[in-house]
C-alpha cells in the first residue's frame, strides 16, 4: 500500500530544502505543488493552460484543478510506493479532497510532520537578506553578513533590501500563513497524524529528525 506524507511548515522554516534532502536520502519522491504548476505551464499541458489563466489574474487555482495535477503526478511510476507532498493541502477542505483522491491509489495520509519555528526566529531568518545592485550577490545579516554594512564584498556596490524581505512584510506573511494554516494543523492533529518537528536547530538536525519520523511509516 502506498504511503503519503504531508509536510507542513511556515515561510522561513526551510521546508522545501529539508523535503528534498529527506526525499533523496530515503529515495522517496518529493512532490511540490508549486513545481507541478510550473512544470505544467512550461510544457503547455491542458491543465497547465487552465491554471495559467487563474495565476495570470492573480487568483487561486481551483482545488479541482490542483487535485487533477497532483493525481496525474502520483500516477507516475516513481510514486507507486507513495510520496512526500509539499504545498498542498492548505485547508481542511483541500485535505478532505486529497484524502478521497489518495484512496483511489489505495493509499492515505500516514503522517504529517510540522516543522515548527518560533515567529521571532522566522522574522530574523526572512528579513535579514540584502542584495547587491550590481550583480545580485546575496548577504544575510545573521548568516552571511558583508564585511562592511550596506556594501557588497565582491564589487563594492550598494546593498538593498527587497520589499518582500522587509520586516513588516515578513511579519505579515507569517501571520497570514498561521491564520490560514492553523485549521489544517488542527485537522491533522485531531486525526492523530501531526508530528511536530523542532525547526529551530541546524538544518542537518532537522533533516535527521524528519528522516526518523518519516521512516516509521514508509
Which parts of the chain fold into alpha helices (H)? 15-26, 33-42, 46-57, 63-74, 92-103, 119-127, 167-190, 203-215
173 in catalytic set: yes
Of 3, 73, 125, 129, catalytic: 129
52 in catalytic set: no
Of 3, 73, 90, 125, catalytic: 90
Pick from 173, 121, 116: which is nearest to 142 by CA? 121
Pick from 12, 13, 1: which is nearest to 209 by CA? 13
15 in catalytic set: yes
Of 80, 133, 148, 162, catalytic: 162
Of 3, 15, 73, 125, catalytic: 15
Ramachandran assignment for 194, one of left (phi > 0), alpha (psi -120 to 50 degrees), beta (any other)? beta
**Cell for 3?**
504511503
Cis, bond preceding 146 (omega within 30 deg of 0): no
57 in catalytic set: no
**Cell for 109?**
495520509
Of 38, 52, 173, 208, catalytic: 173
**For residue 11, how far is the Cα from the chain centroid?**
8
**In whole angstroms, what is the distance from residue 73 CA to residue 61 CA?**
17
Pick from 31, 59, 13, 2: which is nearest to 185 by CA? 13
129 in catalytic set: yes
Pick from 117, 48, 88, 86: which is nearest to 180 by CA? 88
Active-site positions? 15, 90, 129, 162, 173
Amino acid at each position: 500500500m502506498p504511503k503519503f506524507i504531508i509536510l507542513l511548515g511556515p515561510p522561513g522554516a526551510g521546508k522545501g530544502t529539508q523535503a528534498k534532502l529527506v526525499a533523496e536520502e530515503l529515495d522517496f519522491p518529493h512532490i511540490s505543488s508549486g513545481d507541478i504548476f510550473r512544470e505544467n505551464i512550461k510544457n503547455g499541458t491542458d491543465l497547465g493552460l487552465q491554471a495559467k489563466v487563474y495565476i495570470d489574474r492573480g487568483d487561486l487555482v481551483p482545488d479541482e484543478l490542483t487535485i487533477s495535477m497532483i493525481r496525474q503526478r502520483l500516477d507516475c511510476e516513481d510514486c507507486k510506493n507513495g510520496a512526500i507532498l509539499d504545498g498542498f493541502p492548505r485547508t481542511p477542505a483541500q485535505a478532505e479532497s486529497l484524502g478521497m483522491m489518495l484512496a483511489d491509489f489505495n493509499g492515505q495520509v500516514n503522517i504529517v510532520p510540522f516543522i515548527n519555528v518560533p515567529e521571532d526566529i522566522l522574522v530574523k531568518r526572512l528579513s535579514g537578506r540584502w542584495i547587491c545592485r550590481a550583480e545580485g550577490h546575496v548577504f544575510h545579516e545573521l548568516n552571511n553578513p558583508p564585511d562592511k554594512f550596506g556594501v557588497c564584498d565582491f564589487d563594492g556596490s550598494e546593498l538593498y533590501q527587497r520589499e518582500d524581505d522587509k520586516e513588516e512584510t515578513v511579519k505579515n506573511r507569517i501571520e497570514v500563513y498561521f491564520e490560514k494554516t492553523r485549521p489544517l494543523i488542527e485537522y491533522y492533529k485531531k486525526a492523530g497524524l501531526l508530528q511536530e518537528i523542532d525547526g529551530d536547530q541546524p538544518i542537518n538536525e532537522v533533516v535527521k529528525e524528519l528522516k526518523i519520523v518519516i521512516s516509521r511509516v514508509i
